[in-house]
Structure 1
Amino acid sequence: MRAKLATSATRSAAALSRATGRGDGSVIGGRIGLMIDPNLLAELASGRQIVLISGTNGKTTTTRLTTAAMSVLGNVATNGLGANMPTGHTSALAKAGPTPYAVLEVDEHYLDQVLDATHPRVVALLNLSRDQLDRAKEVAMMAALWRESLAKRDIQVVANADDPMVTWAAQVAEHVTWVAAGQRWHDDSWVCPECGATIERMGDAWWCSGCTLHRPVPQWTVQHDGVVDPTGTYHEVKLQLPGRVNRANAATALAVAAHFRVRIADALARMTEVKSIAGRYAMVERDGRMIRLLLSKNPAGWLEAFDMADNVPTLLAINARDPDGLDTSWLYDVDFSPLRGRHVLITGDRAMDLAVRLTVNGIAFQHVPSFGRALASVPPGRLEVIANYTAFQDIRAELDRVN
């Protein structure tokens, strides 16, 4: 009875939040439900086959692609808007009602707690890198927490073989499927988490110079414009999402879906229908300009955003509000040189921090006080927007108000 009451309260609070325009209700609903029944997440997870997806970058996109792939089998509950802590998971499962499957994005700091509550069939580990320096754990510490959590469970893990931190954490699991998802950002994995020696790299291979830690042989590999499966068969991956990183996210989604016996062709067909994820990658027309929104929250994410962005006028937007993390020193870890030669505009609460960083990097830029002024400053055509979390949401809200 308590679980039923808590579930009803979760749905009602979430609906009220949406109706009053205070948000999508994915946090407040779960918070109220867990206050009534602290065991509600476990109750709602019971009877479902669950996938958890965690990592520093790419969680929301990989969750959306995995949900699409798994939808071949039936209804899938998911926290598709990115509320990735237990309150968000509770709200998502309550809203979905009884479904045979659930795919949940999990904040990397909460993975152990959510594993305890949901007893998933598969957990996918994407990557680990620095994020929100004022409050997030150091990367090796996060890897150690994951490793400790996985060592005590009999669980199927799908893990990125190209990230030494993820590999070290995942190798203690009894059942691991390795995905060669790539790792363009190396600055958080130069030192072996096992022994402290340097990580050496040559081509796709990496190994520790002081112990036995090394890149495992992957079963799934991103290759050119597609993915090679465990049988050696190549599958072209046609997504509406840009960049190699999203083909890597698709490879992880395919590896997860394969554990549920989803045919690769069926999974790929569903994934090609995904156009944007919570506004990310969306193309919006405004005043004769086609605007694409890219979300980047940390150095690794900005590196991938530069790879995705076309050589057109580019607006960079930076805030440092609570959801972003208050420390902007991470800007000095980003190499902005790929922007040389473009018309670069900057805006946001901390635009001046970004201005100093771009000056150091030798990047010419134009400061604009608002998104509207940015639009007026570029000719009709394409505009790329790369923003961190709250700056991204501000721009989305402005576009939504007009459209």
Structure 2
Amino acid sequence: MSLRSSFATTVGKTSRWFLQTFFKGGSSLPGKIALAIDPNVLDQLAKDYHIIVITGTNGKTLTTALTVNVLKQEFGEVLTNTTGANMLQGIVSTFLSGKKNKNGKNFAVLEIDEASLSKVTEFLTPELFVFTNIFRDQMDRYGEIYTTYKLIVDGAKKAPQATILMNGDLPIFNSVETVNPRKYYGFNHQLDEEISAHYNTDGVLCPHCHHILKYKMITYSNLGKYYCPHCNFKRPDLDYQLTEIKETTNTSAKFKIDEDDYSIEVGGLYNVYNALAATSVAEYYNISPEKIRKGLAYDEKVFGRQEIIDINGKKCTLMLVKNPVGLNQVIDTMKMSPFNFSLVALLNANYADGIDVSWIWDSQLEELAEMDIPKVISGGERKDDMTLRLKVAGINEDILTEVNELKQVIEEIKSAPTEHVYILATYTAVLNLRKELTQQGFIKEAN
């Protein structure tokens, strides 16, 4: 390491210690300081790491957490950007926090925003990319799904030797050739039958001849065993496959991947995909099923992903929602609940949420009206939009309450007629709600 890089690293680590010790924060500032001293400091910080980058629309955070926990079983401590800081200064800060393993196997698993990937790979050389999925999401930032896919493919090709491990059930991931070698994971758990995707589904046109794709099996949205009846476009052979779903509940799932039994303590079919992605990474690195099983047993709920918060005896499950496909999967998970529940829907429209809220009209909120929900609370900065959408979905006005402030949301939860409450919230709404709950003592601050 050069003298300049060494000095930048020392100053960056010192500033990180100071900020964490006295201010309990500063996720990106140490990296910014280190970069000001040496713009190439990341080259030195990251040179001894096996770097895995996880990106996509939905599932990045949980897939990252599961992957880290599985890799720990084999290699020891794994570096990851748990704060979600995925711009250059945030990545530098992440590596400033790293401690090398004595066994010499140093892994970094980084969750990277789709739009940021190309910038990050200018400075890092991953050896493995994981593409979870591409769905319509924050169109003001990303545009249509093909624009988003081009962003991440362009980011990956800056590390052309790195393998892309991608969701084989998604047609867009097989739509163009890549300079990177590819491997695929997916579901192979049902007998073939002829089926078509729902008419309001994105990404079901053949990229070669533009006819509507058919399916032998669909998991959800446009994911499944697809083929084009007019040309030879079809799902690629899977390198890693889920072969059986034994049980899915609102809080857990049991399944087989490549004939080995696994389980996770989080509900929903969409989270089984996250577990499949993490397991595929583990198999790529030849980790044993026993260690994978132990890693998937990770039951600490990730921020806003089925996080359970007790509010005066009400068991509140916090669910982050940000696009139609994700919201539909959350609704499907709620439908599996063996108990009655009340519902809170918080809609914000800041940059991190996506300014355009029209996506709520493409979700299947009508299914809520078919459930026996005794109380529904709408809130957030765009509460009027959410209230209107819920009314159009068929929610009876007698059970629907619109509130202005988060303090009032919490008071309404306290008086809910059910023990269980589901809270569906966009990203900044989750942040704001957790901050208010922390101030009121319902969430303990991290040390």
TM-score by length of 1: 0.90
Check conservation: 1:279, 1:396, Cα contact below 8 A: no
State the superposition RMSD in angstroms. Answer: 2.6
Secondary structure, aligned partner of 1:241: coil
2:133 to 123, 127, 130: 127
How far apart, in 2, do the equivalents of 1:192 and 1:130 lie?
17
Check conservation: 1:228, 1:234, Cα contact below 8 A: yes
Structure whose CA Rg is larger: 2
Aligned to 1:366: 401
- Matched ranges for 1:228-239 at <5 A: 228-229=256-257, 232-237=258-263, 239=264
Identity of aligned residues (%): 28
Closer/same/farther in 2, CA of residues 46 and 308 from structure 1, 3 Å limit: same
How far apart, in 2, do the equivalents of 1:40 and 1:213 lie?
45
Aligned to 1:307: 332
2:320 to 295, 298, 315: 295
Give the drift of 1:60: 0.7
TM-score by length of 2: 0.81
Check conservation: 1:158, 1:179, Cα contact below 8 A: no
1:201 to 196, 202, 215: 215
Give the drift of 1:228: 3.9
What is the one-letter code of the residue matched to 1:188?
A: D
Give the drift of 1:209: 4.8
Aligned to 2:6: 4
Secondary structure, aligned partner of 2:140: coil
Aligned to 2:251: none
What's the CA shift string for 1:119-159, capped at 9, x where partnerless?
22211100001221222232111223334454561222211
Check conservation: 1:178, 1:216, Cα contact below 8 A: no
Give the drift of 1:52: 0.7
Check conservation: 2:168, 2:186, Cα contact below 8 A: yes
How far apart, in 1, do the equivalents of 2:297 and 2:43 lie?
33
Give the drift of 1:11: 3.4
Closer/same/farther in 2, CA of residues 387 and 197 from structure 1, 3 Å limit: same
The question of 1:332 aligning with 2:365 is answered no
- Bigger drift between 29-38 and 99-108 goes to 29-38
What's the CA shift string for 1:26-67, capped at 9, x where partnerless?
233333333332223332221111111110111011000000
How far apart, in 1, do the equivalents of 2:268 and 2:315 lie?
18
Give the drift of 1:281: 1.9
Structure 1, unaligned stretches of length 5 or more?
A: none
Give the drift of 1:347: 0.9
How far apart, in 1, do the equivalents of 2:418 and 2:151 lie?
49
How far apart, in 2, do the equivalents of 1:217 and 1:15 lie?
48
Give the drift of 1:105: 0.5
How far apart, in 2, do the equivalents of 1:163 and 1:269 lie?
28
Structure 2, unaligned stretches of length 5 or more?
A: 190-196, 218-223, 247-253, 443-447
Check conservation: 1:158, 1:176, Cα contact below 8 A: yes
How far apart, in 2, do the equivalents of 1:211 and 1:114 lie?
37
Check conservation: 1:346, 1:367, Cα contact below 8 A: yes
Closer/same/farther in 2, CA of residues 258 and 5 from structure 1, 3 Å limit: same
The question of 1:158 aligning with 2:165 is answered yes
The question of 1:383 aligning with 2:416 is answered no
Aligned to 2:379: 347
Give the drift of 1:9: 3.8
Aligned to 1:248: 273
Give the drift of 1:14: 4.0
Check conservation: 2:121, 2:156, Cα contact below 8 A: no
Aligned to 1:27: 28
Give the drift of 1:170: 7.0
How far apart, in 2, do the equivalents of 1:121 and 1:344 lie?
47
How far apart, in 1, do the equivalents of 2:315 and 2:120 lie?
40
Aligned to 1:217: 237
How far apart, in 2, do the equivalents of 1:144 and 1:208 lie?
22
Secondary structure, aligned partner of 1:145: helix
Give the drift of 1:5: 3.0
Aligned to 2:47: 46
The question of 1:104 aligning with 2:130 is answered no
Closer/same/farther in 2, CA of residues 123 and 377 from structure 1, 3 Å limit: same
What is the one-letter code of the residue matched to 1:234?
A: D
- Matched ranges for 1:72-91 at <5 A: 72=73, 73-91=75-93
What is the one-letter code of the residue matched to 1:368?
A: V
How far apart, in 1, do the equivalents of 2:20 and 2:140 lie?
31
Aligned to 1:286: 311
Secondary structure, aligned partner of 2:235: coil
